[in-house]
Structure 1
Amino acid sequence: MRDGGRIAAAIEILNSIESHHRPAKTAVKEWGAAHRFAGSGDRAWIGGLVLDTLRRRASVAYLMQDETPRALVLGTMVHAWGMTGEEMTALFGGDEHAPEPPTEAELAGFARDLTGAKPHVRGDYPDWLAKSMDRAFGKDAADEGAALAARAPVDLRVNALKAETDKAMHAVQSKIPQAVASHLVADAIRIPQTDPRGKNAPAESIPAYGKGWVEVQDAGSQIAGLAAAVDPGAQVLDFCAGAGGKTLELAAMTGNTGQVYAWDHDWRRLRAIWPRLKRAGARNVQVKDGPEGEALADLVGKMDVVFIDAPCTGAGTWRRRPDSKWRLKPEALARRIEQQDEVLDRASTYVKPGGRLVYVTCSFLPEENSDRVEAFLTRDGGFEQVSTLAALKASGGLAEGAQDVLAKCEDDAGAILLSPRRSDTDGFYIAVMERK
């Protein structure tokens, strides 16, 4: 496909997303299935443009003074992809599948800048979240939002149960030469983002992934797992295990000793954990797939660590799911807050005296983070908050220089808030509490 046809496809997909209210990645996939002539490179280019347009929707709409899919796509190519108005006009010439060339109004939009725009426009986040962003980031809210509107790299966690870091790095670099060591996690690999119009590295198709040597996991998520600071032989409960990403990390940290119990209130989310455990060689994991009262009754008050990867809005993952930030509504946040309070109250009962409760969200919203921890500590006087950074140091899993980065992410209570701008990761909140 020529670029003009690709642009037309992106506009078509965005129209479909708006009219049918479907997730962006689903709409892109369905378009590809219905247009078999489009090769993998075409689909990657089109999908990348669609997602970049959603990432920058507020700022581009402001610049173009137009919210239609056409204006947003064309504006994204200029303001995010770096094309000029002249290049855009030339791009559409002689291609019968291309949209109409840019209008005078669109050319004027290509030349505008964000001077005078409100912070939520410059930061590309919903206006109703402005107060939350201000609470989380203060004067840096717009810059933090802009960082959340960029593309994300691919991070790999080296599975210590199957491979040493050097061996895994060599295997990954043999297929993806641009891979480098993580700046935060000692046993992690980063695949930097390519040119906006380039195709992402297929991390899950390389032999090292198939052999279980590496897992795809954002560095921020890996940091969250390290905060558990589990020792070999520990008894650990992953209370919201889902598909098992943190479960696998916890199993590797214990060196396949002790026990890691994986449970989730929605048993359907656990279905993906079985093949992942097998591929990773994790043998000390017990998957508990019954009702909580039956499945976990014998664990009450016995766990060294209870890990909560809490249900949340996912605001910290906007780089990867940009359409979700525009779908998020106040009532959805309110539901998550109720769930988080309930999860904290229930999960805490499994922590033994002197044991730790690790609370994690992939969100930067204070309502889901510090507010929830403070409310829990008020309800339950049997816990006290301790330093997350101290736990990370004790884990032994940080890369050289990571402590300096993470110290700048620490709040007054000892929790850590990661973000693309602060730590070059997804957004994560990590709090550690200890039972007295």
Structure 2
Amino acid sequence: MRIGGRIQAAIEVLETVETQHRPIAEVLKDWGNAHRFAGSGDRAAIGNLVFDAVRWRSSSAWLMDQETARAIVLGTLAYRWGWNLETLADFMAGDEHGPEPPTAVERTLLSNASLDKAPAHIRADVPEWIEPQLRATFKEHWVDEAAALAARAPIDVRANSLKAGRDKVLKALDQFGAKATPWSPLGVRIGAGSDFDRSANVTNEPGYQKGWFEVQDEASQLAVLLAGAEPGEQVLDLCAGAGGKTLALAAEMNNRGQVHAYDRDKTRLKSIFDRLRRAGTRNVQVHSADSDLKGLLGKMDRVFVDAPCTGSGVWRRRPDTKWRLTPAALEARMMEQSQVLDEGARHVRPGGRLIYVTCSVFADENSGRIDSFLRRHPSFAPLPVERIKGEALNAVPARTVPNGLLLSPATTKTDGFFVCVMERAG
């Protein structure tokens, strides 16, 4: 496909996403199935443009003075990708499958594109109702933090210490320009790329198939390291999902002791078994959704709660979710978070620890949930920040917030994660 055709395809996909309120990945898959002539490079390029258009939907619409898919795509190409207006017009006009060239009005708007006078939530590219949540967390820096959440994310992987060190993984992924992450001693990062650049498909690599590494953002890696799990301990991963943090916990424990992996949604656990086998993990016991966990009550050295949340900290990877989020959905997540915290507390032994983690940057889901929990469970107390981080992680420039630590794209160059470690009185 020529560039004009790619632009037109992106407009069509975005129109479907907007009008049918469907996930981007699903619509892109349907488009590819209906347009078999498009190669893998074309599909990847179209996906890049669609995802970026959604990242900056609000600011592009404001710049173009309309919210159509065409306006948002053109605004993204000109303002975010930095394409010269004449070059863009040539691409569009020189392809019979491309969109109509920019109109006179569009040319004027694109030539004078500036967000200097845009409202704060437009510059931040977030729904207006979310502004108070971000302001409560980041104070005067909230626009910059939100803007960082709208950028593309790199690909981070975690070296599986049961099978390979970071140097081995770096060598295996050298063809993609892999570098060591700045904070996690196990992390390897591949840059996000720009414009139509294809992302590295690291799960196709032999090293991945051999279990040398797992795809995991550095913030998620740090959350596990901050949990401080030790070999020989009994650990409950209460919201294990697909098992990313379960695998990391097991590796930190060097396959000694036991990690109990549980999730009340059985569909989320279905991929964990293949991942455990590939990683060479031997100290994980998977509990099905209908399992009775009574035998673990009051016996766990650590309970890791990766709570259900809005996912505001991973908007770089799932930009469409920020536009679908509603106040009602936020309230529902907060109720679930309180419930899972209460459940987790029941399994912590005296002197043990409860680790609460979200991939959210909203204060109500983070410090707010901990405040509420502590009123219900006075036997628990958050650990001071210096005791959470430990010597190996002291350099991490995480933001100290009430009851814990917050990582974010603007501050730590990671996804947005909140980590609180609480200790139960002995």
* TM-score category (smaller protein): over 0.9
Give the 3-state SS of the residue equivalent to 2:116 in structure 1: coil
Relative distance call for 1:321 and 1:389 in structure 2 (3 A) is: farther
> Deviation per CA, 1:291-338, whole angstroms, max 9, x where unpaired?
35x2x1111111110000000011111111111000000100010011
1:371-410 CA deviation, whole Å, 9 max, x = no partner? Answer: 000100011101001134533326x4x4xxxx3333x511
d(CA) in 2 for partners of 1:234, 1:409:
29
- SS of 2:387's equivalent? helix
Residue 94 of structure 2: aligned partner: 94
Counterpart secondary structure, 1:168: helix
TM-score by length of 1: 0.95
Once residues 121 and 138 of structure 2 are traced to their aligned partners in structure 1, the CA distance between those partners, rounded to angstroms, is 13
Q: 1:202-281 counterparts in 2 under 5 A?
A: 202-281=201-280
Distance 1:291 1:376 in 2: 25
Task: Show structure 2 runs of 5+ residues with no match.
Answer: none
Q: Deviations over 1:253-307 (max 9, x none)?
A: 0000000000011122111100000000010000011435x2x111111111000
CA contact (8 A) 1:119 1:141 kept: no
Distance in 1 between residues matched to 2:381 and 2:93, nearest whole Å: 66
What is the identity percentage for the equivalent residue pairs of Structure 1 and Structure 2? 50
Residues 149-207 of structure 1: CA deviation (Å, up to 9, x unaligned): 1000000100001112222221221x42x100010101110011112221111111111
- Check the 8 A contact 2:4/2:94 in 1, yes or no: no
Secondary structure of 2:401's aligned partner: coil
1:405 matched to 2:405: no
Displacement of 1:18 in angstroms is 1.6
In structure 2, the partner of 1:195 is: 194
The separation in 1 between residues aligned to 2:285 and 2:61, in whole angstroms, is 50
The superposition leaves residues 94-140 of structure 1 with CA deviations (integer Å, 9 ceiling, x where unpaired) of 31101000012211221220112111100101100111111011111
CA RMSD for the aligned pairs? 1.2
Displacement of 1:222 in angstroms is: 0.6
Q: Distance in 2 between matches of 1:297 and 1:228?
A: 23
**SS of residue in 2 equivalent to 1:166:** helix
Change (3 A) 1:71 1:290: closer
Larger CA deviation: 321-330 vs 385-394: 385-394
Residues 1:151 and 2:152 aligned together: yes
2:352 paired with 1:355: yes
Kept after mapping to 2: 8 A contact 1:232/1:254: yes
- 2:11: which partner in 1? 11
Please give the alpha-carbon distance, in whole angstroms, between the structure 1 residues aligned to 2:267 and 2:157.
25
CA distance in 2: counterparts of 1:10 and 1:138, whole angstroms: 36
Match of 2:319 in 1: 322
SS of equivalent residue, structure 2 residue 371: helix
Deviation sequence 1:50-89 (CA, Å, 0-9, x none) = 0000000111111111100000001100111110211111
Q: Residue 381 of structure 1 aligns with which residue?
A: 378
Which residue pairs with 1:117 in the alignment?
A: 118
The structure-2 alpha-carbon separation of the partners of 1:290 and 1:326, relative to structure 1 and needing over 3 Å to count, comes to closer
Superposed, 1:304-323 pairs within 5 Å as 304-323=301-320
SS at match of 2:373: helix
Matched, 1:417 2:415: no
Asked if structure 1 preserves the Cα contact closer than 8 Å seen for 2:367 and 2:401, the reply is: no
Flag as ranges the 4+ runs of structure 1 deviating above 4 A: none
Relative to structure 1, the CA distance from residue 25 to residue 384 in structure 2 (aligned partners, 3 Å threshold; closer, same or farther) is same
- Greater shift after overlay, 101-110 or 425-434? 101-110
State the one-letter code of the partner of 1:280: A
Whole-Å separation in 2 of the counterparts to 1:165 and 1:339: 36
Show the 5 A alignment for 1:158-169.
158-169=159-170
In structure 1, the gaps of 5 or more residues are none
SS at match of 2:241: coil
- Give the TM-score, by structure 2 length: 0.97
Q: What are the within-5 Å matches in structure 2 for residues 65-80 of structure 1?
A: 65-80=65-80
Aligned mates of 1:290, 1:90 — CA distance in 2: 56
**In 1: Cα distance, 2:331 partner to 2:9 partner:** 37
- Report the AA paired with residue 127 of structure 2: P
Matched, 1:372 2:369: yes
SS at match of 1:381: coil
CA distance in 2, matches of 1:412, 1:427: 16
Cα distance, 1:10–1:216 mapped onto 2, change above 3 Å: same
State whether residues 93 and 99 of structure 2, in contact with CA within 8 Å, keep that contact through their aligned partners in structure 1: no
